[in-house]
Amino acid sequence: MISAASDPGFERIDEQRLRSGWGVKWGAVDPDVLPAWVADMDFGIAPPIRSALNQTLSDEDFGYPFWPDGDPVVRAFERRMQSLDWNPLPNRTRVYSDLIQVLQVMIEHATEPGDGIALHVPNYPPFLATIQRSGRRIIPIPARSEPEGWRFDEPDLEGRLEAGGCRMLLLVNPHNPTGRVFRRAELDEYARIAERLDLIVVSDEIHSDLVYAPHRHVPFASLSDDAAARTITTTSATKAFNLAGLRCAVAHIGSAEVAERLHQEPLDYFGQPSILSRVATCAAWNNSADWLAGLRRRLAANRDIVAEWVAESRHSVSWNRPEGTYLAWLDFTGTPIGDDPASALLEQARVLLSAGAEFSEHTHLGTASYARLNFATSEDVLRRLLARIDGVLDEAAGDARR
């Protein structure tokens, strides 16, 4: 049995606080349900973030903002990207509320109705829904499970994208839900295809702070001058620092044409995140490295716990160990609940996972036998929910034998 020591702040969670608060993960479920679905963590926030927010409250500094040296979120983002060997272009970064807003804005300003948008499937359900609702066509790049991990390559991908009228590539790296961290060689191939087909690339890098060694995140815009000139890089501190409800994201607009189209829109069209969201984001990116290191240790230990559970499973549950994120993409195909594992586990185990079918909606691909498990919780809660899943599988296997 794995029992990894971790930082005290990540050893326990306050279930009562989580259930009584505003958060959807725990608040939207019945009291007997253990939730491991939406991608929020069960931990609190880093002490520097708390201190910065408290100081702003103490100062009562809530007037219209003025930053003589430029938006501090933009400066924090640029410094963070420079640490990854990429220098963002000056005056090309905008602050938004979240990445779904960023994608919607970029779809409207970089493509036309009927255009194809390619993305890896399975994928984050709101992205699939956004593309569908906007009147664009989803061109899925299917995942393939191999012994060495998830793969997304396929013969003549360039030809298929060209024939499908593709105008945009949406790259989620690290990938949600599989946890795949794309290698530089893979990214170079996508950059070559993007240049050949003149695609806009929207690179969602929101999980880039949650990559496990020996893997390393490579910003897509850092690959080449051409990649930088066609890439919208979007990210946020919300995943790694547990700030989703504060609503703050950034987008760096590498494409001069898209940047000009955005510049022509009224400023108020895009909205503005609040002072508190900016304060929290800056404190996260600038001052919370020690907390992030502790979080990574806890998540790595939890990933090992899930890996041990899968390896010891009597019921043919399978996965590929995620290389980034805190999400486990579990395959229940070989189990008696493989038709719809998330529904069966909620009904019989009172464990809520994200339903696999949602991650391939509006495509011809099928992922109903999968479920996504969020393991960003305490060791105790993680072991309890895995034990509940085992109970359901044991019972279902017994019923199948009778």
As to burial, measured by CB atoms within 10 angstroms (0-12 exposed, 13-18 middle, 19+ buried), residue 72 is: middle
Task: Identify the band that residue 398 occupies on the pLDDT scale cut at 50, 70 and 90.
Answer: confident
CA dist 12 and 42 (Å) reads: 9
- In this prediction, residue 148 carries a pLDDT of 85
Q: What is the pLDDT of residue 246?
A: 95
Q: Would you say residue 397 has pLDDT above 60? A: yes
| Average pLDDT score over residue span 131-146 | 96
* pLDDT greater than 90 at residue 94: yes
Structure tokens given for 53: 């927010």
Instruction: Give the pLDDT of residue 2.
Output: 42
Q: Which two tokens stand for residue 248?
A: 């703050």
Tell me the pLDDT tens digit for each residue of 205-228: 999 999 999 999 999 999 999 999
Which alpha helices (DSSP H) does 198-251 contain, by range?
Answer: 225-230, 238-241
Both structure tokens of 359: 């991650």
Residues of the chain with CATH 3.90.1150.10: 8-46+289-401
Enter the CATH code of domain 51-287: 3.40.640.10
As to burial, measured by CB atoms within 10 angstroms (0-12 exposed, 13-18 middle, 19+ buried), residue 270 is middle
**In whole angstroms, what is the distance from residue 178 CA to residue 326 CA?**
10
> If you average pLDDT over residues 158-167, what whole number do you get?
97
- Where along the chain do the CATH 3.40.640.10 domains lie? 51-287
Q: Among 146-150, 165-169, 272-276, 326-330, which is the least confidently predicted range?
A: 146-150
Q: How confident is the model at residue 401 (pLDDT cuts 50, 70, 90)?
A: low
Buried b (16+ CB within 10 A) or exposed e, 279-297: bbbbbbbebbeebbebbbe
Burial (CB count within 10 angstroms: exposed 0-12, middle 13-18, buried 19+), residue 36: buried
Alpha-carbon distance 107 to 183, whole Å? Answer: 26
Confirm or reject CATH 3.90.1150.10 for domain 8-46+289-401, answering yes or no: yes
Confidence of residue 315 (pLDDT cuts 50, 70, 90): confident
pLDDT class of 244 with cuts at 50, 70, 90: very high
Least confident of 8-17, 112-121, 231-240, 245-254: 8-17
Could you tell me the pLDDT band of residue 176, with boundaries at 50, 70 and 90? very high
